[in-house]
Structure 1
Amino acid sequence: MLRLAFVFPGQGAQFVGMGKDLAEEFNEVRKVYDLADEVMGFPLSKICFEGPPEVLNKTEITQPAVLTTSIAIYELLRDHGINPVMAAGLSLGEYSALVSSGVLRFEDALRIVSRRGRIMQEAVPEGKGMMAAVLGLDNATIERTCQEAACKGIVNIANYNCPGQIVISGEREAVLEAIKLLKDKGAKAVPLAVSVPSHSRLMEGAAAALRKELNGINWSSPAFPVISNTEAREIQPSDLPEILVKQIYSPIKWEQSVILMADKIDFFLEVGPGKVLSGLIKKTARSKPVGNVGDTASFKRTLAQLKEAEQ
């Protein structure tokens, strides 16, 4: 029996049309979207399927939309007897992982991530924050460079994505200074088109507001382990909700989480829109097979891929 790790994408994976063909073909997928529409009180499914993109890309819409698409696909896999032995998610994707393991009710997760998106958007005035991708330098050099650029304000590593790919986040002037210094050291540094400086100390105020939302949640025991992407270790019931509060202002250790999971599983399966995580995993755990399910074609391809891998 293949030991599968399900990994769930975060914000940025969304696109107009996500989940549409699956919802048209599979009733179990449609049911998840219908429930999301009911909980949210507006046709979230229509925004996922038809857009417009300027609405889908609003943070408070994006987050429940990505969560819903991921859980709809998870339910499809589960109904076809495809189950993980562990799960993880990138930033927002950690909520999908917790829902999949039974720790968090889908309905509660929808409300939380919608509020989370609004809290994050309101935490920092537009134009004050900035994020940038950094390619081609080792982690230690980037960490030191952020410290050098701190004379201009707050800047820190936000994401350890995979070997040679880091994201930095913080105040605009400090991030721009870090970009300049990193380029001088031979890195490629590219500003990202995002409105929120996620996973930086600028989000500490947002974390306090999120804590209030999370304190009223009833957490259940997991059906399988979920790996924390800020700690790169298995989440324990006693960690909740604080580990999700910490996530909003702390670096995401995705590379380290993948390395941890790779020792315990046979196959990574990205569950949700896009293929970003698949690409990162291939650069981190090169010996492990990776698949993804984001639409009908990839679902059928994955069924064949898993059947072949089991033989």
Structure 2
Amino acid sequence: MAEAKIAVLFPGQGSQFLGMGKEFLETDADARALMGMAEKISGFPLTRLCQDGPMEELTRTVHLQPAMTVMNLICWQALAKAGVKPAFFAGHSLGEYGALAAAGIVSPEETLALVTERGRLMEREAAANPGGMQAVVKLPIEAVRGIVESAKAAGKITVANHNSAEQVVISGEEAALAVAAPLVKEKGGKAIPLKVSGAWHSELIAGAVPDFEAAMAKVTFNAPATPVLFNVTAASESDPAAIRQIMARQIASTVRWLEIVEKLMAEEVRVFIEVGPKTVLTGLLGKIIPPDYEHRCFQFDTPEGLAKMLEAL
């Protein structure tokens, strides 16, 4: 499998933990340089937040977006230095910004500036339009869409993430989520409230889109050096103007993760590498990829994890 096609995947919000990136920052000058740049651009003490928290402060979306993005970029930088050349990039929600930088669509500096602004705008909209999110497990997307339609009478609600065949995240006003949960149970599924500070990927935060478009208008977008499969379309795109539009819509659009992974399988990707904290995406791959599809999954967020993975590759 030496010539196997590789996809590099970047995790999003929810993969954070206190102490993330510690080993890279202690041993790798390039990692420290990236972190220094991220702190300067965001204006936040990201090293302290990532290492010592408190968790409530790290989890605030305004802090977490630059924090997670710089962690993803630190891991990707180490992988790229090791000479690994992926055939595709993809990122889950916020993780898509790691993919933009890795594919050369947006510079690392401008990527960090964008996620800092994205976090600020999303926090602003979440404060103005409070809501929450629930993971719905054991039900197919069609059933969840039906439940969402029924719950709409109680308030704004939508499908936020199509993560796997039987894991769908819904997002919206608490009153609508309260109506949806018993309907999920009735159909044999389970609704699990998520610890998030807003109704992400829903119309409740769509007010962030025009201001974010204005921020993106000042940033240079390039054609990708390596294809990226986008959350909004579950397809690649090479036109920088189209990518800019896709990324503006992404804030309030469904994350089509299941379709992205299916597309990677259709392209005969055999090696999947999750680059960044925790194994959320690796777990989803286990639910999506059939056992008879020959493949290998890796994840790393430390130099030791990277070394082990390179040995196995």
- The 5 A counterparts of 1:218-257 are 218-237=220-239, 238-257=241-260
Query: Secondary structure of the equivalent of 1:190?
Result: strand
- Which ranges of structure 1 fall in alignment gaps of 5 or more residues? 307-311
What is the DSSP-based 3-state SS (H/G/I as helix, E as strand, rest coil) of the residue aligned with 1:77? helix
Given that residues 7 and 264 in structure 2 are in contact (C-alpha distance below 8 angstroms), is that contact kept between their aligned partners in structure 1?
yes
**Separation in 2, partners of 1:135, 1:96:** 27
**Which amino acid is the alignment partner of residue 266 of structure 2?**
D
Tell me the secondary structure at the aligned position of residue 54 of structure 1. helix
Cα distance in 2, alignment partners of residues 37 and 208 from structure 1: 26
Match of 1:305 in 2: 312
Q: Secondary structure of the equivalent of 1:148?
A: helix
Which residue of the partner structure matches residue 12 of structure 1?
Answer: 14
TM-score, normalised via structure 1 length: 0.94
- Answer yes or no: is 1:263 the counterpart of 2:266: yes
Equivalence map 1:28-107=2 (5 Å): 28-107=30-109
Paired residue secondary structure (2:70): helix
Residues 126 and 195 in structure 1, CA contact (< 8 A), matched pair in contact too: no
Aligned to 1:208: 210
1:171-190 matched pairs, under 5 angstroms: 171-190=173-192
1:280-299 map, 5 Å:
280-286=284-290, 287=293, 288-299=295-306
**Greater displacement, 270-279 / 119-128:** 119-128
**Alignment-derived partner of residue 23 in structure 2:** 21
Cα offset for 1:126? 6.8
- Name the CA distance, whole Å, in 2 between partners of 1:42 and 1:144: 42
Q: Percent identity among equivalent residues?
A: 34
Structure 1 outlier segments of 4+, above 6 Å: none
CA shift in 2, pair 1:132/1:42, >3 Å: closer
Looking at structure 2, the residues matched to 205 and 47 of structure 1 have their Cα atoms a distance apart, in angstroms, of: 28
1:34 shift after superposition: 2.2
Instruction: Tell me the equivalent position of 1:277.
Output: 281
Deviation at 1:297, TM superposition (A): 3.1
Q: What's the counterpart of residue 309 of structure 1?
A: none
Tell me, in whole angstroms, the C-alpha distance in 2 between the residues paired with 1:203 and 1:128: 9
8 Å Cα contact 2:137-2:191 kept in structure 1: yes
| Structure-2 separation of matches of 1:75 and 1:242 | 27
CA contact (8 A) 2:137 2:166 kept: yes
Aligned pairs for 1:150-189 within 5 A: 150-189=152-191
* 1:222-275 CA distance string (max 9 Å, x none): 110011012100023231311011111111000110110122212000001111
Give the alignment's TM-score, normalised by structure 2: 0.94
In the superposition, relative to structure 1, how do residues 41 and 145 fare at CA in structure 2: closer, same or farther (>3 Å)?
closer
Q: For residues 54 and 228 of structure 1, do their structure 2 counterparts lie closer, same or farther at Cα, with a shift above 3 Å needed?
A: same
* 8 A contact 1:127–1:172 mirrored in 2: no
Query: What is the number of residues matched between the two proteins?
Result: 306
What are structure 2's unaligned runs of at least 5 residues? none
The alpha-carbon deviation at position 26 of structure 1 amounts to: 2.2
